[in-house]
Amino acid sequence: ALAEKGNYRHFMEKEIHEQPEVIARTLTHYVDPFRLVVRPFESIDFKQYDRILIVACGTAGYAGQVAGYWIEQIAGMPVRNEVASEFRYRDPAVSKRDLALFISQSGETADTLAAMRFCKDRGLTTAVVVNAAHSTMAREADIALPTLAGPEIGVASTKAFTCQLAALAMIAINAGRARGHIDANREKELVTGLLEAPRDVSKALEMEDEAKRIAGELTQSRSVLYLGRGVYYPLAQEGALKLKEISYLHAEAYAAGELKHGPIALIEENLPVVVVAPHDHLWDKTMSTMQEVAARGARVILVTDSAGLAACDVKREDVILLPDCAPIASPIVAAVAIQLLAYHAAVYKGTDVDQPRNLAKSVTVE
Ligand code: G6P
């Protein structure tokens, strides 16, 4: 069936708003809602592997980076994140005790597919988190782990990204249980937190007007800096990518702790700095970074939750207040804020939101 925009102005806007529903659908695929456990993957024995190699491109790669933090924390299993185009050409050292995990919305991205074939040739087990169920990667991987986002038409990925995060969280929990790194209570807590994500995302969508106002101001600048730590570092990168892709504003993301190693030289009066920082164990660190940029006149746009807001004593220009949610759901919820900022910045600038210049939805040739 041909996808329809319905009452929305762009597919991207529609796809942002579909997230509560498609995240719920994806979670339901993996969770036993009565026992509050993740259904085991019959085909993967996580004890058999020493490491997970995660390979992808673009937005899928940022989902993979979040998963890297999760898998190390929840399963105590080493992860290596790879950009497919680098991985495939450098004759990487891999082992049969690596589980090779690919992430792709389309299942057709040339570099990711080539990386998968390379791993297959080397005898590795290959798994793919994939949205297009009948794609080449879904067919060729040993194990296909679906995201149920439905067709994504907007070139800038939104709902596919949050569904990838949902599926990847399921992998982390499964690995954690299989390796005895988490107990049944912890699993239940994680699953319960994730099952609330669709509702949390709906609440996050309620701050759209605020995001729209802030987006309007972003378009007055030539450049925007995004900062985050831990799981929010890939979110900052995804935020900068979204903004570049569709609004054509220059944006750059840094791990907050790296600021002092260079990018702080860029901070000048009124430079917008989007700080993605729901409250967590790294909060104090992120706040001191925020202090440094604010002291140099940057316009801090803080994406946080109520605990972060209460703990923040740095001068900030604007706040996007996210609903309180479980830590495991928080990157999924924070994604909504950065999507809305980019979307509305693009609408202000009058760009072709669904088909930005020079970009393709899936890059099937090099
Ligand atoms: C293109 C798209 C991105 C996407 C990337 C990877 O660059 O514009 O939105 O993240 O390809 O695509 P895939 O289909 O492999 O997830």
159 pLDDT higher than 90: yes
Spatial distance between the Cα atoms of 207 and 284, rounded to a whole number of angstroms = 25
Q: Is 114 in the pocket of ligand 1 (CB under 6 A)?
A: no
Give the count of beta carbons closer than 10 Å to the beta carbon of residue 124.
Answer: 20
> Which residue's alpha carbon is nearest to atom 5 within ligand 1?
58
Partners of residue 227 on adjacent β-strands: 254, 275
CB 290 within 8 A of CB 158: no
2 pLDDT higher than 70: no
Picking from 166, 204, 142, the residue whose alpha carbon sits closest to that of residue 67 is 166
Give the count of beta carbons closer than 10 Å to the beta carbon of residue 161.
Answer: 31
Percent of the chain scored above 70 by pLDDT?
Answer: 99
pLDDT for residue 355: 85
Provide φ and ψ at 145, rounded to 5°: -110, 110
Picking from 347, 335, 293, the residue whose alpha carbon sits closest to that of residue 315 is 293
Q: What is the DSSP letter of 294?
A: H
Confidence of residue 250 (pLDDT cuts 50, 70, 90): very high
CA of 269 to the centre of ligand 1 (A): 35
How large is the average pLDDT for residues 296-300? 94
Say which residues have a Cβ less than 8 Å from residue 212's Cβ, sequence separation at least 6: 340, 344
Spatial distance between the Cα atoms of 102 and 113, rounded to a whole number of angstroms = 9
Spatial distance between the Cα atoms of 105 and 58, rounded to a whole number of angstroms = 10
Q: Is 339 in the pocket of ligand 1 (CB under 6 A)?
A: no
pLDDT for residue 335: 98
CA of 256 to the centre of ligand 1 (A): 25
Residue 110, burial from CB neighbour count under 10 angstroms (0-12, 13-18, 19+):
middle
127 pLDDT higher than 90: yes
The first and second tokens of residue 53, run together, are 């190699």
356 pLDDT higher than 90: no
Provide φ and ψ at 279, rounded to 5°: -65, 130
- Cα dist. 289→286, 298, 320, 321, 335 in Å? 5, 12, 18, 19, 21
Q: Probe ligand 1: pick from 355, 362, 364, max atoms within 8 Å of CB?
A: 362
Partners of residue 54 on adjacent β-strands: 81, 101
Given strand 272-276, what is the order of strands in its sheet?
Answer: 250-255, 223-228, 272-276, 299-304, 318-321
Q: Is 164 in the pocket of ligand 1 (CB under 6 A)?
A: no
The Cα angle at residue 134 between residues 131 and 137, in degrees rounded to 5 = 70
The first and second tokens of residue 3, run together, are 């996808």
362 pLDDT higher than 90: no
CA of 194 to the centre of ligand 1 (A): 25
pLDDT in tens, 19-72: 999 999 999 999 998 999 999 998 999 999 999 999 999 999 999 999 999 999
Residue 239's identity, in one-letter code, is G
> Which residue's alpha carbon is nearest to atom 3 within ligand 1?
58
Q: Which atom of ligand 1 is nearest to the CA of 132?
A: 14
Cα dihedral value 47, 48, 49, 54, nearest 10: -90
pLDDT for residue 361: 85
Picking from 135, 149, 132, the residue whose alpha carbon sits closest to that of residue 201 is 149
Question: Is the whole-model pTM more than 0.95?
Answer: yes
10 pLDDT higher than 90: yes
Partners of residue 53 on adjacent β-strands: 80, 100
pLDDT for residue 357: 81
pLDDT in tens, 203-215: 999 999 999 999 9
366 pLDDT higher than 80: no
pLDDT for residue 306: 96
Give the count of beta carbons closer than 10 Å to the beta carbon of residue 218.
Answer: 24
91 pLDDT higher than 80: yes
User: Can 361 be counted among the known catalytic residues?
Assistant: yes
Cα–chain-centroid distance for residue 313?
Answer: 28
Q: Is 155 in the pocket of ligand 1 (CB under 6 A)?
A: yes
Please tell me whether the interface predicted TM-score (ipTM) of this complex is above 0.95.
yes
pLDDT for residue 264: 85
pLDDT for residue 365: 79
Percent of the chain scored above 90 by pLDDT?
Answer: 86
How large is the average pLDDT for residues 290-303? 94
CB 97 within 8 A of CB 68: no
Q: Is 110 in the pocket of ligand 1 (CB under 6 A)?
A: no
pLDDT for residue 123: 97
Picking from 332, 327, 319, the residue whose alpha carbon sits closest to that of residue 202 is 332
CA of 106 to the centre of ligand 1 (A): 7
